[in-house]
């Protein structure tokens, strides 16, 4: 019987997210959702960390890749990368309720 040794791949390193709290992100981003540009209330809104470059596109959890966002804004955006033009269209979509394909 042959003993075959193998190793599992290392888990994906996603560190960084744990090093910045929502409160720190809120302070850094001055309490403004980067998608809709409205105020995020820490007590009444559902603030989230949004990835500028999503994990699905190879983005990291480093604080430089994280922005403050309302949960709803973050969910509407999904895994789409944000270019300046797409960000503008996304803002229009969120504010007007128009179904724009980005």
Give the range of the structural domain holding residue 34, as residue numbers without chain letter. 17-89
**Domain containing residue 40: CATH number:** 1.10.30
Residue 63 inside a domain? The answer is yes
Whether residue 73 has pLDDT greater than 70: yes
**Where does the pLDDT of residue 9 fall: very low under 50, low under 70, confident under 90, or very high at 90 and above?**
very low
Domain count, the chain: 1
Residue 98 inside a domain? The answer is no
- What pLDDT score does 23 carry? 95
Contacts 24+ apart (CB under 8 A), 78-82: 78/54, 79/54, 79/55, 80/54, 81/53, 81/54, 81/57, 82/52
Residue 61 inside a domain? The answer is yes
Q: What is the mean pLDDT of residues 80-87?
A: 62
- What pLDDT score does 26 carry? 97
Q: What is the pLDDT of residues 10-69, one digit of tens each?
A: 334 454 445 789 999 999 999 999 988 889 999 998 999 999 888 888 888 899 999 999
């Amino acid at each position: 019987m042959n003993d075959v040794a193998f190793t599992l791949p290392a888990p994906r390193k996603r560190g960084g997210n744990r090093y910045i709290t929502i409160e720190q992100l809120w302070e850094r981003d001055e309490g403004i959702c980067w998608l809709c540009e409205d105020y995020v209330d820490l007590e009444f809104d559902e603030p989230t960390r949004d990835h500028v470059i999503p994990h699905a596109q190879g983005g990291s959890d480093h604080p430089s890749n994280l922005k403050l966002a309302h949960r709803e804004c973050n969910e509407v955006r999904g895994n789409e990368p944000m270019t300046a033009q797409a960000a503008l269209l996304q803002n229009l979509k969120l504010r007007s309720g128009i179904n724009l394909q980005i």
